[in-house]
Amino acid sequence: MDASEKGGLSRRGFLAAAGAGCLAAAGVSSPARADLVNMNATIAKEFGPGPYKQNKIHLKTPIIAENGRVVPIQVTVESPMTDSDYVKRVAVFVQENPNPDVAIFHFTPECGKAWIKTRCRMSKSSPVVAVAEMSDGSVHTTQSTVKVTIGGCGG
């Protein structure tokens, strides 16, 4: 008669329960949630805790990127770009990348237009977030999800 027939816990049952417990404890913060927390912490460190406005900024990304090594990103911010009303900076973040901050672009009224076009590497499918800080201190944000078929960050 083994331990399970006596009403106790067999060695196999104990190991299964212990393994499940370890997985549950490790899963308190799922990887996707941890990446979101990491990206949000990076944004808050750079632009303050929010809340952020959801207007004035437009993000153009592909719906599907066949190769994560070269994902085109275009950001446009509505602004007259005058001395009293202009875009100070625009940042791009990729939630699922090992380092979510991709780039920060600085502007002055002399730029005439707050517009950037760049390419970034993406390790896997992920939300891409653009954040713009205006001269009056307001912060605007938008996001778009890009499905990556072949990751571009190595690994």
Q: Sort 24 into a burial class: Cβ within 10 Å, 0-12 / 13-18 / 19+.
A: exposed
CA within 13 Å, CB half, 89: 10
Which tens digit of pLDDT belongs to each residue from 101-151?
999 999 999 999 999 999 999 989 999 999 999 999 999 999 999 999 987
Which tens digit of pLDDT belongs to each residue from 17-58?
555 444 344 443 334 555 778 888 889 999 998 889 999 999
CA distance linking residue 139 with residue 137, whole number of Å: 6
For residue 1, is pLDDT > 80? Answer: no
CA distance linking residue 151 with residue 69, whole number of Å: 7
Residue 99: pLDDT band with limits 50, 70, 90: confident
CATH code of 50-148, in short, is 2.60.40.2470
CA distance linking residue 142 with residue 132, whole number of Å: 9
How high does pLDDT run on average in the chain?
A: 83
What are the residue ranges spanned by the domains of the chain? 50-148
CA distance linking residue 84 with residue 53, whole number of Å: 19
